[in-house]
Amino acid sequence: MKEIEVSQLAEKIAAGYKVVDVRELNEYNEAHIPSAVHVPLQTVPDNLDAFRSEQDVFVVCQVGGRSGKACQYLIDQGVTNVVNVAGGTAGWMLLGNDVDSGTTA
């Protein structure tokens, strides 16, 4: 499985790459990476198209565990363009990056 450190994510977002947040709705609403699309982990099997892209899609959760599980599931289903974000949303915030709240994405 491909993985990047959260410190590398801002440049990927600036380049136009998609970020998918697989946390629960209440976690997403509290704080999420700007532009991140919300697809809760338990709904990933029903939303494979949200991850299909000609570019890499960066999958994020709170620290990297759930997004890793999502990535492995997606790879097993033939969606191989996914990249786990190690450090997750918590790491994003620790680096001082901006977050959005509510259901803006």
Q: Under DSSP, is residue 81 helix (H, G, I), strand (E, B) or coil?
A: coil
Active site residue 71: no
Rounded CA separation 7/77 (Å)? 28
CA distance 5 to 91: 9
21 Cβ partners below 8 Å, 6+ apart?
Answer: 28, 32, 33, 36, 37, 38, 39, 60, 61, 89
Catalytic residue among 6, 61, 82, 83: 61
User: Which active-site residues does the annotation give?
Assistant: 61
